[in-house]
Structure 1
Amino acid sequence: MTEDDLSTRQVQPLAEADLNDPVVASLGRAIDPPSRPVQALQAVGRGIQSLGRWGPESWVSLAIVAGCVLFTFAQLSPSDILSSSTPAGGDMGAHVWGPAYMRDHLLPSFRVTGWTQDWYAGFPAYHFYMVLPSLAIALLSFILPYGLAFKLVAVSGLLTLPIACWAFGRLTRLPFPVSPLLAVGATAFLFDRSFSIYGGNIPSTLAGEFAFSISLSFAIVFLGVVGRGLETGRQRVIAPILLALTGLCHLIPFLFAIGGAIVWLAISLARKPGFFKRVWWLACTGVVGVALMGWWLFPFYLRSGYMNDMGWEKRTNYSDLLFQRSTLDPQLVNSPPIQWVLVLALLGLVMSIAWKRRGGVFLAVLAGSVAIAFIVLPQGKLWNARLLPFWYLSLYLLAAIGVAELGRTIASLLSRDPDTPRRSVTIATAVVAAL
């Protein structure tokens, strides 16, 4: 056959008999991609198969993290949360108006900020308060009773914080059983009874600081992503999204997230070369994250001169609030005892340095930075006591690392290979510490 013959030859269609040929049919299946429903079913099948490959550590981690979430939810009176009653208590009642106004007046005009005549001679709606939690309530109330939608969103930050802290451990490659015990440390923080209006714990959230709690969960995951991204150069998409979500929920955890990212950068530069690469990664994350929330943040900043000062006086009993908590208000209790938390946190720092756990070193430096900021922050619109939750949470997480690493050290000593800690001991450490 000549070259001219090849160029002029017509391709003949397959005969019907050819379509029944198993070889031809198999070629067709290989060439034609499966449909979307088939792809979805295949993905579900792969997910189910992956569960069968989970080791004991994965199942124990799942049980502990889920247990922390369920335990927290059980203490919040689920029957009241799941009812359609109107939430109240502290400043919570003042927040009930906002999402309903957004749903009924702002969203129909395709806005989330505006002006209302409901009080005074009129006042700005959501120009000076973060919009995302209220937007979630407003949207959810289209399908659920308003009171139920409000309460589900209000407690969501409490229920997601243990998960966020577990994710932080995983993202920073902390070994088992550190990650599940970080969820336990976060749960201990939620039940801290030494403060009730600073933000983050259960009393503060039920007093109306639910936006702070939601933002804190986003901030912790963001810091985990930053820790991973500065090492790998990846996570360029999710990091700015998490930063924007943090800021659109509450600005104080947003500032904490920015400060924590700077701490991560310093630790990363101290460990490995690549100054410009890491600075560029973090700068891009910050710029894109701020840009994503700029539609709300920039008007907020430009109009900040109209904001009122709540008049909170700076707390100056530094040593007591940081290390003792002996002069609390009568309704508050030093529980869990901060002294024991400090001892375990110090153990966590020592273990993190000894085993070169950069996640633990980060938390220690972050805690120290927050303590310094609490002391040096001048009197102003940002009350320095609002920084204390970040100090306490960092201590609880460091304490969890201390317990987990102590168990791993014992497991290594009992193992024939020090690099492979005895599995039974690490699992026992996780279970006993969680209980």
Structure 2
Amino acid sequence: MKQPPLKIGLAQIILAAFCLALSYYFRPLLSTVLPLSTDLPGHVALIERLREQLLHGRLLFYDTAWFGGWPAYQFYGFIPHLLAALLSFALENFSADPVMLSVSTIIWIGLALFPASLWFASRPLLRQLNPFGYEADTTSKTLLSAQVCFLSIWFLNLNYPSVGFGWRAIVDAGLFSQIIAWHLLLVFTGTALRALQSLGDGRNKARYARKLALIFAFLILTHPLSAIFAAFLTAVLWFSESSTRRVFEGATVLALLLCSFWIIPLLCTSSDYTWTHIHQPGGDILSALFSYSILEIPEVIRTFPKFDLTPLLILLFSLSSLALRSYLQSRSISTLRISFLLGALLFSSHWLAEGIPLGVHYYRFLPLLTLLFCIYLAPILAALYAASSSSAARSGLLTLAIVGILTSFTWNPSPAAGNGISSEARALLEKLKSNKPAGRVAFSSLQGSSFENRISPHLLPALVSRETGLSIETPNGLFIQSSQPCLLFGSIMQSLGLQVYTLPIMEEHPLELLPSRSLELLTSLGVSTLITNQEEGLKLAALDPRIELTTNGPFSIAALSGHTKKSMIEAVTKPVIGFLDNGRGSSTRIPFKYLDYYFASDPELSGKVELLAVDTSGAASRYVDHWLINDPDVVSYDRARNESYISFHAAESNPFSNSLDVEGERYGSISMYLSRNLDKNRLLTTAARQPTTQIPSIAFNSTAQEMTLSNLEPGKLYRINYAHFPYWSTRDGRLFRGSLDRILFVSNGEEASIRFSRIAHFHGWLGALLTGLGAIVFLVLKPRKSN
């Protein structure tokens, strides 16, 4: 079907005027003041670091300031941050804080242009109502614009920020990437619906396959959860129309090829360096769409305008859509209806989350379902107008459209401008600036105080460097909170009785250590200062009298000065246990991350030995004092004097366990097996290593992504207190993965350098190769010329 050219008419004028009204409505969000948001400060802090890397032609990099080091954007979509960083360069002459201005500008523009994307997604539905006796005239397009405006202000003002609804989810909850993902998902849906209307035209099929692939690729790199939802919608569309299946199949494969440079490394490393992080489905889609219960409706009508009538209008439109012949018979609208009902069933399902552990926030699919619902309801006014025969009814519909928009604005005032952090938080930052802590600064979640304090794990760590001017590292962070380094750090904090923000995994298997051991683990990670609330500070001081406690407003500053400060590099003096996993498949494997957590949590083993992950190459043999080998086929445990064998076989899981804690169940099975079969005494009888006489030093150059080590003793095993990752490489020695997910290093000489680079690893070049292949296919896949 040939698409008609876009003409500027009354409908487009209404849409443009409403976008301008929204830009004024959301004007307080256009600010350089960092809002008191949950996640947004973390986004801003990371974008600032990305700016520095972009100046040196680098997008993916190792960031030492989060969890003691993590590979930025290895597991997190980067498009929104890249866009904000690039825009910040253009805004440098307009603000002293171009990054914050860039972020707020993207949010402001994204919210203001939301109706335009919703219009694009819903416009094909209006065209498809034509076969049922309805003309897409100026009136119908005007009504579509009016309904799009009403649905836009309704959706943007839904007040469920933690679930992901409305503008508050972007600003208050800080779901910065979501604002761009909303637009991409709407454009993807609109393009897919247009593809459905282009049956029988091979030229159009090729054109839409390229468009859908490009949009889907950007969606994957922006917000993977939204991309999963787009894949779900694609599956429904694939089943609904057999003649367009090749379009969706080709678009999906091409999109995955284009994103391979990011997807391949993610898939190859996520199982070993992250933990499956499932959030149980929560929230009720009906309560989000219709915020008043049935019993409340009479009271709402009776006391108008005390209550907002918007939910009642949504209910009215929903019921009308089930009575209109044109709505019931339209193929595209029926597909959207099926998608919404099926999605509401699946994405609110505990059963789905348990059976398909994607490691996502399942409840975050509900706002995306609501977007689908908005597209579905967008042409309802136009369809009702076409079905009405009386002029009074048609006039009533026009009035209803205007009332809907006005009531939404009336009952939802503009957002308030941010006032910045409190004087107490500002005083804390000034205190840190004057104290100049020598090591890392860690924050508890500071629960029990003001709203600002509850979000301090993101807000204050994000402000430490930029507000104090000091290069203070903090193990706190936002991204990939289920990563191995974050899990170990958070668990150590919890073992001291401190509240830790967002650490739901492994709750059933906490670290149960003596306070002295927990404090030793923290200092071994380079932590010198803990920031807590006053109650937690007093508990810490009671645990160990060597802790120096000072009070600063509602905060307590606990200096771990009584404990031996660990440098970022030190010689390994503990016995080294080399772990080799010969398991095959998930039923017999023991991933190193599980063994590492077990050794850290076991009171008898914690801190007594150093773990070292080895492979079958034998490169680590000379540095290992005792071997621990998991071999599912072993019969005897005593093949050699310095070898301990275990033979793990996973117990059969209970299909009726009704548990979402997939990682916890698997770790529990491994932990139970190790507790019963591991010969701890044999491991602990290994002799300690001789300390080195030289004091090594280390410097990390973020610009070059390189660690420079000096004053080393050749052949000596050193522990570097940055998180291990397979993209570290060196020509000056050997690298291994050690306890607490740190780097172990053996140098060939007195000096060494270690670089972080992904392209040199097979994950990197394989992904780059496939992306190059996808780019070639994308360029070759041109629409055929019509005869």
TM-score normalised by the chain length of structure 2: 0.41
Give the corresponding residue for 1:4.
Answer: none
**Partner of residue 211 from structure 2, selected from 212, 217, 238:** 238
Give the corresponding residue for 1:382.
Answer: 360
Give the corresponding residue for 1:288.
Answer: 254
Give the corresponding residue for 1:159.
Answer: 112
Letter matched to residue 235 of structure 2 = I
Alpha-carbon distance in 2 for matches of 1:221, 1:319: 25
* 1:302-359 Cα shifts (integer Å, max 9, x gaps): 2222234556343276775676676xxxxxxx97765652442231243364574334
Letter matched to residue 131 of structure 1 = F
Alpha-carbon distance in 2 for matches of 1:210, 1:113: 19
Larger radius of gyration: 2
- Ranges in structure 1 where 5+ consecutive residues have no aligned partner: 1-49, 270-274, 327-333, 416-420
- Ranges in structure 2 where 5+ consecutive residues have no aligned partner: 92-97, 129-135, 199-204, 294-306, 407-787
Q: Is 1:224 the equivalent of 2:199?
A: no
Letter matched to residue 353 of structure 2 = P
**Partner of residue 398 from structure 1, selected from 356, 376, 380:** 376
Letter matched to residue 209 of structure 2 = R
1:147 offset after TM fit, Å? 1.8
**Partner of residue 220 from structure 2, selected from 236, 247, 250:** 247
Alpha-carbon distance in 2 for matches of 1:138, 1:288: 27
Letter matched to residue 398 of structure 1 = Y
Alpha-carbon distance in 2 for matches of 1:214, 1:159: 12
1:225 offset after TM fit, Å? 0.8
Q: Is 1:196 the equivalent of 2:161?
A: yes
Say if 1:200 and 1:213, in contact at 8 Å, map to a contact too.
Answer: no
1:99 offset after TM fit, Å? 1.3
Q: Is 1:315 the equivalent of 2:268?
A: no
| DSSP-derived class of the 1:236 partner | helix
**Partner of residue 298 from structure 1, selected from 252, 256, 264:** 264
**Partner of residue 260 from structure 1, selected from 233, 238, 248:** 233
Letter matched to residue 115 of structure 2 = P
Give the corresponding residue for 1:367.
Answer: 340
Say if 2:74 and 2:266, in contact at 8 Å, map to a contact too.
Answer: yes
1:161 offset after TM fit, Å? 2.3
Say if 2:122 and 2:378, in contact at 8 Å, map to a contact too.
Answer: no
1:399 offset after TM fit, Å? 3.7
Distance 1:397 1:345, change over 3 A: farther
**Partner of residue 26 from structure 2, selected from 73, 76, 83:** 76
Say if 1:115 and 1:122, in contact at 8 Å, map to a contact too.
Answer: yes
| DSSP-derived class of the 2:90 partner | coil
| DSSP-derived class of the 2:71 partner | strand
1:398 offset after TM fit, Å? 3.5
Distance 1:345 1:260, change over 3 A: same
Letter matched to residue 314 of structure 1 = P
* 1:114-162 Cα shifts (integer Å, max 9, x gaps): 2111133211211111100000011111110222112112334323321
Say if 1:230 and 1:282, in contact at 8 Å, map to a contact too.
Answer: no
Distance 1:264 1:428, change over 3 A: farther
Q: Give aligned-pair identity as a percent.
A: 24
Say if 1:247 and 1:293, in contact at 8 Å, map to a contact too.
Answer: yes
CA root-mean-square deviation: 3.2
1:212 offset after TM fit, Å? 1.3
Give the corresponding residue for 2:12.
Answer: 62
Q: Is 1:98 the equivalent of 2:39?
A: no
Comparing 399-408 with 142-151, greater Cα deviation is found at 399-408
Distance 1:414 1:355, change over 3 A: farther
1:108 offset after TM fit, Å? 3.5
Say if 2:233 and 2:339, in contact at 8 Å, map to a contact too.
Answer: yes
Alpha-carbon distance in 1 for matches of 2:110, 2:347: 24
Distance 1:189 1:365, change over 3 A: same
Say if 1:312 and 1:383, in contact at 8 Å, map to a contact too.
Answer: yes
Alpha-carbon distance in 1 for matches of 2:158, 2:313: 13
1:163 offset after TM fit, Å? 0.9
Say if 1:158 and 1:214, in contact at 8 Å, map to a contact too.
Answer: no
Say if 1:168 and 1:224, in contact at 8 Å, map to a contact too.
Answer: yes
Alpha-carbon distance in 1 for matches of 2:32, 2:229: 34
Comparing 356-365 with 234-243, greater Cα deviation is found at 356-365
| DSSP-derived class of the 2:62 partner | strand
Letter matched to residue 217 of structure 1 = H
Alpha-carbon distance in 2 for matches of 1:165, 1:100: 32
Letter matched to residue 226 of structure 1 = A
Say if 1:344 and 1:399, in contact at 8 Å, map to a contact too.
Answer: yes
Alpha-carbon distance in 1 for matches of 2:292, 2:373: 14
Distance 1:187 1:361, change over 3 A: farther
| DSSP-derived class of the 1:129 partner | coil
* 1:30-79 Cα shifts (integer Å, max 9, x gaps): xxxxxxxxxxxxxxxxxxxx99xx5xxx533123322332333223234x
Alpha-carbon distance in 1 for matches of 2:289, 2:398: 33
**Partner of residue 129 from structure 1, selected from 62, 72, 76:** 76
Give the corresponding residue for 2:90.
Answer: 143
1:431 offset after TM fit, Å? 5.0
| DSSP-derived class of the 1:142 partner | helix
Say if 1:370 and 1:390, in contact at 8 Å, map to a contact too.
Answer: no
Give the corresponding residue for 1:115.
Answer: 62
Comparing 250-259 with 350-359, greater Cα deviation is found at 350-359
Say if 2:281 and 2:348, in contact at 8 Å, map to a contact too.
Answer: no
Alignment of 1:422-433 (within 5 A): none
Alpha-carbon distance in 2 for matches of 1:214, 1:313: 25
Give the corresponding residue for 1:186.
Answer: 152
Distance 1:114 1:368, change over 3 A: same
Distance 1:429 1:76, change over 3 A: closer
Comparing 282-291 with 372-381, greater Cα deviation is found at 372-381
| DSSP-derived class of the 1:315 partner | coil
Number of aligned positions between the proteins: 356
Say if 2:151 and 2:374, in contact at 8 Å, map to a contact too.
Answer: yes
Letter matched to residue 218 of structure 2 = L
Alpha-carbon distance in 2 for matches of 1:386, 1:279: 28
Higher strand share: 2
Say if 1:349 and 1:402, in contact at 8 Å, map to a contact too.
Answer: no
Say if 1:133 and 1:249, in contact at 8 Å, map to a contact too.
Answer: yes
Q: Is 1:212 the equivalent of 2:178?
A: yes
Alpha-carbon distance in 1 for matches of 2:292, 2:270: 34
Say if 1:60 and 1:427, in contact at 8 Å, map to a contact too.
Answer: no
Say if 2:278 and 2:362, in contact at 8 Å, map to a contact too.
Answer: no
Letter matched to residue 168 of structure 2 = P
Distance 1:354 1:212, change over 3 A: closer
1:409 offset after TM fit, Å? 1.9
TM-score normalised by the chain length of structure 1: 0.72
| DSSP-derived class of the 1:115 partner | strand
